[in-house]
Amino acid sequence: MSVFFYKIRNKLSLSVLRNIYFAFVYPHILCGIEVYANTNNIHFKKLITLNNKLLRILQNKPYKYPIKNLYHNFDTLAIPELHIYQLLLLVHKFLHHKLLLPAAFANYFTINSAVHLYNTRVRENLHLDSVTTNYGKRTVKYKASKVWNQLPSPLKEFLSVKNFSNKFKKFLQIVDIDNTVRCIIMVTFVFLADLFTFEKFHSISVSVSLSSVCLRILFICYFSNYLGDQLR
């Protein structure tokens, strides 16, 4: 197929080449991705490499062209992100549009409020079964529930499948593309958490503790505004 793509890439427009990709390549990647991609990326590295190669050929880009831009140009997701995307589409349909799913998924997931009656902050989250093995953690039910619980609340509020899928895809593209912001978030939260813990157990002045809390609140507000702007 790569030879065929080499021959047509200079004869057709980019929009037509994109349609060819979604007609001949994308359906094969999408089929069963909830299951076959539920493993370490190293096990399907060849598939990822081949898909990157086909995108690079169709877009006529050099070898060192950033891979993330290849997917962004065609408004699609890399295979690991596409796996997460499909898993959470399944969860979204289960919660809001059960009629769109086969009868086998009628009781596939469980909400915490159906397990206990305590009024906790996570009562509307999906219930996570107790698992102790990597195999259990990689089951579709467990992994999809865990990722859904970690999803920002604004995304969970979209009831329409179309709106949710569009916004969630955009969110995954932001997370993938803006690695700098993601690293800043991780480092800042780890630093603030360590600082807060140190202050709590070593009785450092109250003023420093308040400063740490204020910094944390300001950072969360800033990132929430940033994420909201990107999802509009």
Kindly list the domain boundaries of the chain, sorted by start residue: 2-76, 82-176, 178-231
Distance, in Å, from the CA atom of 128 to the CA atom of 123, rounded to the nearest integer, reads 12
Q: What is the pLDDT of residue 114?
A: 80
User: Would you state the pLDDT for residue 225?
Assistant: 52
CB-count exposure of residue 150 (10 Å: 0-12, 13-18, 19+): exposed
d(CA 135, CA 142) in angstroms, rounded, equals 10
The answer to which of 11-15, 88-92, 180-184 has the lowest mean pLDDT is: 180-184
Q: What is the three-class DSSP state of 63?
A: coil
Give, rounded to a whole angstrom, the gap between the first and last alpha carbons of the chain. Answer: 38
Whether the predicted pLDDT of 150 surpasses 50: yes
State pTM to two decimals.
Answer: 0.74
Average pLDDT over the chain reads 80
Interval 110-119: pLDDT, tens:
888 787 777 7
pLDDT-derived band at 134 (thresholds 50, 70, 90) equals confident
Query: Between these two residues, 144 and 122, which has the higher pLDDT value?
Result: 144
Q: Which residues contact 171 (CB under 8 A, 6 or more apart)?
A: 152, 155, 227, 230, 231
Number of other residues whose CB lies within 10 A of the CB of residue 182: 13
| pLDDT value of residue 206 | 45
In three state form, how does the secondary structure of 119-172 look? CCCCCCCECCCCCCCHHHHCCHHHHHHHHHHHCCHHHHCCCCHHHHHHHHHHHH
How many residues would you count in the chain? 232
